[in-house]
Every structure is written in structure tokens, then in C-alpha cells.
Amino acid sequence: MRALNPIALLLVIVGALNWGLVGLFEFDLVAKITGDAFGETNPVSRIVYVLVGAAGLYLAATILPAMLRAGSDGAGRDRTVRA
């Protein structure tokens, strides 16, 4: 499962960058790479979008709960013993 984390993270970053480009410049990088115009899809772009969505769900289901648990048990706090 941990081998999926970097792949999922990369896909989520690609999706976030694509949405940033769409919001700022009305430029859909995935559509451009797969040969479509803005807002159009083809089987390849749909696969990319589905993989990005699945990666987001995977990270939300695996990494987010781990981060929440780490925050609730004091991880990351200064553990220096004071006398």
C-alpha cells in the first residue's frame, strides 16, 4: 500500500495543477496533452481524470486519517523531558 502513496500524490498534484490552470487561465493541460480542446474529453483524458479522482479518494482514505491520528496523540510535539 505504501508504494501507492507516491503515485497517488503525483496524480493529485497533477490534478491540482490542472485545476489551477483552468481557474487562472482557462487552460486544460490534460485536454491539451490528449489532443482535445478545453472542456472536451476523450477516452485517454477520461482515464486521467478518473485516476486523479481515485488518487484523491485513496489519499483521503489512507493518509488523512493517519495525519489526524498523529495530531491527536501528540506526535510532532517537543518531547524533551523537563525536570
CA–centroid distance for 74 within its chain? 26
Q: What is the mean pLDDT of residues 59-78?
A: 76
pLDDT digit string, tens, across residues 18-40: 999 999 999 999 999 998 888 88
**Using 50, 70 and 90 to split pLDDT, how confident is the model at 53?**
very high
**CA angle (35, 41, 44) in 5-degree steps:** 70
Q: Which residue has the cell 488523512?
A: 64
| H runs (alpha helix) in 1-83 | 4-25, 29-33, 43-72
Angstrom distance (rounded) from CA 61 to CA 23: 26
Given a cut of 90, whether residue 66 has pLDDT beyond it is no
- Segments making up each domain of the chain, as ranges: 4-72
CA–centroid distance for 53 within its chain? 8
